[in-house]
Amino acid sequence: RLEAMRATLRIGGEADEAVEPLSEDDVPLTESLADAVERVRPLWEGELLPNVLDGQTLLVCGHANGLRALISCIQSDIGDDELSVLGIPNSIPLVYDLEADGTPSRNSRQDGRCYVPPLEAHYLGEACLLFNTLDLDGSGGLDAQELASFAMALEASEGDVARASSEALDGDRDDAPSAGDLEAAALACGEALLAACDSNGDGVVNFNEYYAWWAQRRIQERGGLEEQEAG
């Protein structure tokens, strides 16, 4: 890698004396996403794709950049900016329907399947279906406004909104929460849920962040049920 980087600074085969030479400290210590794509592409094109098109069932285990690289090989129209922040939850099947040439099929979309942009594949599981319902603009990310009604429903189900409705939701303290009071309260709940889920701090909740929160909530709910049964 160091020699390859140094080569980009040479002009006509001779070192450019106006450019500071690269040292060992200039070389990244970790693999970039571009490196991962270069490493995964021969595996996809030479082994995985031919076997898949031949009707074989393959098991590939990976995570993070390894899976992003594989997705980049399957779906080449995903931009670098989208790919680098693509959230891929653990342990949820992601299904691509392929054409005979190995490209993702764009004619196989079906109602009831869960597609999260920019992927041309669908996730399995109820968590994704709820995410799609909340993603009103189809952007693949949830902002505070999209989370607002969902957050209010969660708060109400836990009794918090019911307990606060006569005071906290009544912004103008006239003992009758107005539409504006309710809208402001909903947005505040949405912003609180956004802060809890947005682990990378980009202002939106992608599916990976949403699923991490959703899975943790399911664990907590099951724990509560077990405590009730034990009691």
Predicted confidence (pLDDT) per residue in 125-149, tens digit? 888 888 888 898 988 899 998 988 7
- DSSP sequence for 121-187: SEE-SHHHHHHHHH-TT-SSEE-HHHHHHHHHHHHHHTTHHHHHTTTTT-TT-SSS--HHHHHHHHH
Q: Which residues contact 192 (CB under 8 A, 6 or more apart)?
A: 151
pLDDT band of residue 71 (cuts 50, 70, 90) is very high
Residue 98 has pLDDT above 60, yes or no: yes
What's the pLDDT at 164? 41
Residue 163 has pLDDT above 50, yes or no: no
What's the pLDDT at 130? 85
Provide the residue count of the chain. Answer: 231
Does residue 22 contact residue 6 with C-beta atoms inside 8 Å? yes
Residue 167 has pLDDT above 50, yes or no: no
Euclidean distance between CA atoms 162 and 166, whole angstroms: 8
Which residues, in sequence order, are bridge partners of residue 15?
10
pLDDT band of residue 110 (cuts 50, 70, 90) is confident
Euclidean distance between CA atoms 73 and 48, whole angstroms: 11
Beta strand pairing call for 14-15 and 10-11: antiparallel
Euclidean distance between CA atoms 179 and 185, whole angstroms: 10
Please give the structure tokens belonging to residue 5.
Answer: 């980087």
pLDDT band of residue 161 (cuts 50, 70, 90) is very low
- DSSP sequence for 105-126: PSS---TT-EE-TT-SSEE-SH
176 φ, ψ (degrees, to nearest 5): -145, 95
Distances from the Cα of 165 to the Cα of 145, 168, 187, 190, angstroms:
20, 6, 15, 17
What's the pLDDT at 11? 47
pLDDT band of residue 209 (cuts 50, 70, 90) is very high
Average pLDDT of the residues in 60-85: 89
